[in-house]
Amino acid sequence: MESLAILIFLAALVVFALVILFKTVRIVPQQTTLIIERLGRYSRTLEGGIHILVPFVDKVRASIDLREQVVSFPPQPVITSDNLVVNIDTVIYYTVIDSKSAVYEIANFIQGIEQLTVTTLRNVIGSLDLEQTLTSRDQINGQLRGALDEATGRWGIRVNRVELKAIDPPMSIQESMEKQMKAERDRRAAILNAEGTKQSAILTAEGEKQSQILRAEGSAQARVLEAQGQARAIQQVFDAIHRGKPTQKLLAYQYLQVLPQIAQGDSNKMWVIPSELTDALRGIGGALGQSGTPDLGGDDDGWVEPEGPEDNAFADTALEDPADALREARGQAGQASREASEHATPAGRVQPKGDLAGPAPEPPQQPAPQAPEPQGMPDVTPPSPPAAPGEEPPPAR
């Protein structure tokens, strides 16, 4: 019995020693502080590391975490300045900078921060309408942080950030906002569609203008080249007539051959005989009465070969090169295009330079010895009659 009692005493002594050791030696983690009270009064604040306490005299009042803490509060109904109730969720980021104040200045600093956040939020939101509340989160966060940091400073707490997690307006307001957003999207779509139609019309008009300008340029170039060709053809015919030396009798005979062609046509109801017909008949009759056969050639007295440039009606006519005329027409068409673009007027047609296609003057006429001279020779010359045997054929006109 004595040995058992000794064992129990030794066991109790070991337990007591362990308790004394546990109460004497305390290990504090990093970023954690312990508030120590000695006989009910504040003694000191223990930071990270190993510390020795007086057993049954020193007591740990609270353990404070010095890391940044995050607290999310439930939605709070808040009334805006336009009398709309919105529910706002807030999130607070805070840090304990003075453990003693956080323990002794307020009983529950978490609850104190929550209530302070609600009252400050109502004051801030009450001065804003719904639209400002939805679009001014940064401003609201700044005001809340300033008010909370000032109030919690004496509690040993620093408010780092205040965030509005959600702002929920009433359902009717949400439906109205959705309709407004839909109407805004429809308006933007209509504007974009109108802009596309406008751009398409502008591009179409530009294309039509360019095509008309190109057609006008092509027409101008074609007319210039046609005028150049006609001028060259007239000059060659004029030179060929002078080299052939046709007589007045031959011209009268060819005039008679053209008269049936004038009367051709299904729509002709009446044919007026020109006054020159009688003169031509008298010339032919006189020629046949004198020699029996019209002298169609060999009469050198009825035509005078032009000796110099002063006798040639085309001596002063300078024919342009087709390439030069084409370049000039293109330049005039380009200038017309620029003027049309500047003044928004239809592009004018480019006229060929110079009157190169004017009517050729008639060759000088000599009076025939047997018949009066026919007047007003036609411009259109029919095919020449076949030449008599032993005579040269008349030149083609």
pLDDT tens-place string over residues 184-204: 999 999 999 999 999 999 999
Whole-number Å distance between alpha carbons of 91 and 50 = 36
Q: Which residues, other chains included, contact 348 with Cβ-Cβ below 8 Å and sequence gap of 6+? A: 216, 336, 339, 340
**Best-predicted range by mean pLDDT among 80-84, 170-174, 338-342, 364-368?**
80-84
Kindly report, residue by residue over 297-350, the tens digit of the pLDDT: 444 444 444 444 444 444 454 555 656 766 776 777 677 667 766 654 444 444
In the chain, the percentage of residues whose pLDDT exceeds 70 is 67
Whole-number Å distance between alpha carbons of 187 and 256 = 83
Whole-number Å distance between alpha carbons of 286 and 368 = 10
Q: Give the chain's mean pLDDT.
A: 75
User: At residue 36, what are phi and psi to the nearest 5 degrees?
Assistant: -105, 130
- What size, in residues, is the chain? 397
3-state SS string over the chain? CHHHHHHHHHHHHHHHHHHHHHHHEEEECCCEEEEEEECCEEEEEECCEEEECCCCCEEEEEEEECCCEEEEEEEEEEECCCCCEEEEEEEEEEEECCHHHHHHCCCCHHHHHHHHHHHHHHHHHCCCCHHHHHHCHHHHHHHHHHHHHHHHHHHCEEEEEEEEEEEECCHHHHHHHHHHHHHHHHHHHHHHHHHHHHHHHHHHHHHHHHHHHHHHHHHHHHHHHHHHHHHHHHHHHHHHHHHHCCCHHHHHHHHHHHHHHHHCCCCCCCCCCCCHHHHHHHHHHHHHHHHCCCCCCCCHHHCCCCCCHHHCCCCCCCCCCHHHHHHHHHHHHHHHHHHHHHHCCCCCCCCCCCCCCCCCCCCCCCCCCCCCCCCCCCCCCCCCCCCCCCCCCCCCC
What integer pLDDT is reported at residue 49 of this predicted model? Answer: 87
Task: Return residue ranges of the chain for CATH 3.30.479.30.
Answer: 69-169
Amino acid at 336: A
Whole-number Å distance between alpha carbons of 152 and 109 = 8
Q: How far is CA 144 from the centre of its chain?
A: 47
β-bridge pairing 69-79 and 58-65: unpaired
Q: Which residues, other chains included, contact 276 with Cβ-Cβ below 8 Å and sequence gap of 6+? A: 255, 374, 375, 376
Mean pLDDT of 56-69: 89
What integer pLDDT is reported at residue 337 of this predicted model? Answer: 66
- Among candidates 161, 35, 144, 49, which has minimal Cα distance to 98? 35
Pair 358, 319: CB distance under 8 Å: no
| Confidence category of residue 25, pLDDT binned at 50, 70, 90 | confident
Tokens of 205: 């008009």
pLDDT for 366 beyond 60:
no
Longest Cα–Cα distance in the chain: 196
**Choice among 56-60, 168-172, 272-276, 327-331 with the minimum mean pLDDT:** 272-276
| Confidence category of residue 388, pLDDT binned at 50, 70, 90 | very low
pTM of the predicted protein model: 0.45
User: At residue 243, what are phi and psi to the nearest 5 degrees?
Assistant: -70, -35
What integer pLDDT is reported at residue 67 of this predicted model? Answer: 92
User: At residue 229, what are phi and psi to the nearest 5 degrees?
Assistant: -65, -45
pLDDT for 283 beyond 80:
no
What integer pLDDT is reported at residue 70 of this predicted model? Answer: 92
- Among candidates 162, 160, 121, which has minimal Cα distance to 141? 162
Which one of 3.30.390.30, 3.30.479.30, 2.60.40.10, 3.40.50.300 gives the CATH number of domain 69-169? Answer: 3.30.479.30
Q: Is the Cα dihedral 308, 313, 316, 319 positive or negative?
A: negative
